């Protein structure tokens, strides 16, 4: 079962959805090859915004795109940044994170992310190359990024829960 993540970021960014469309669906190696052929070297040197949509499909957008726009405003199975590199004649995932302050996915989203990348036929790491643990402080309600397993609120110094606690995530198979 993969958790579905609701958008919990700023409402003004969600309003961009109607103007921004959605990220490019990449469901196969052929899709990825066609997508990457339309990118120049400068663009490929940076990571891209990605989401894993409700169907488990990888969607890609330029790095400075909002995750909620890439997802068309929908819930997601995963979100973050992804970078690619050439390995001989093939492409592979060089870096991948769950860094999305709009969806704040749990580290457990890796299983959905890995499945979507595998569907595209790309080599990938065994986990996030940059894992970001998000927590909401139960005392002051501020969003925190947990660093070095230090589960203390950066705003009020209260203890943060060890388990993911952001938004209302629906579980779905």
Question: How many Å separate Cα 168 from the centre of its chain?
Answer: 17
In a domain, 168, yes or no: no
Longest CA pairwise span in the chain (Å) = 52
Structural domain includes residue 93: yes
- Span between the terminal Cα atoms of the chain, in Å: 4
Provide the residue range defining the domain that includes 87.
2-131
Assess if residue 16 is contained within a domain.
yes
**Per the confidence metrics, is the pTM higher than 0.85?**
yes
pLDDT digits (tens, 9 = 90+) for 53-97: 999 999 999 988 999 999 999 999 999 999 999 999 999 999 999
Query: Phi/psi zone of residue 148: left (φ > 0), alpha (ψ -120 to 50 degrees), beta?
Result: left
User: Is residue 74, in this structure, part of any structural domain at all?
Assistant: yes
Instruction: Report the alpha-carbon distance of residue 105 to residue 77 in Å, rounded.
Output: 8
Domain count across the chain: 1
| Structure-token pair, residue 138 | 């139960």
80 belongs to a structural domain: yes
6-41 pLDDT, tens digit per residue, is 999 988 888 888 655 689 999 999 999 999 999 999
Element (H, E) at 134: strand 133-136
């Amino acid at each position: 079962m993969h958790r579905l993540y609701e958008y919990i970021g700023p409402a003004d960014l969600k309003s961009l959805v109607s103007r921004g469309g959605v990220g490019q669906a990449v469901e196969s190696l052929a899709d990825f090859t066609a997508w990457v052929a339309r990118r120049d070297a400068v663009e490929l040197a940076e990571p891209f915004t990605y989401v894993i949509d409700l169907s488990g499909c990888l969607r890609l957008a330029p790095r400075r795109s909002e995750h909620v726009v890439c997802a068309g405003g929908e819930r997601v199975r995963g979100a973050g940044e992804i970078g690619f590199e050439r390995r001989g004649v093939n492409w592979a995932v060089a870096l991948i994170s769950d860094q999305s302050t709009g969806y704040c996915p749990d580290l457990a989203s890796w299983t959905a992310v890995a499945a979507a990348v595998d569907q595209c036929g790309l080599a990938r790491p065994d986990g996030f190359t940059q894992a970001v643990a998000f927590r909401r402080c139960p005392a002051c309600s501020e969003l925190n990024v947990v660093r070095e397993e230090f589960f203390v609120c950066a705003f009020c110094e209260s203890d943060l829960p060890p388990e993911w606690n952001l938004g209302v995530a629906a579980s779905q198979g």
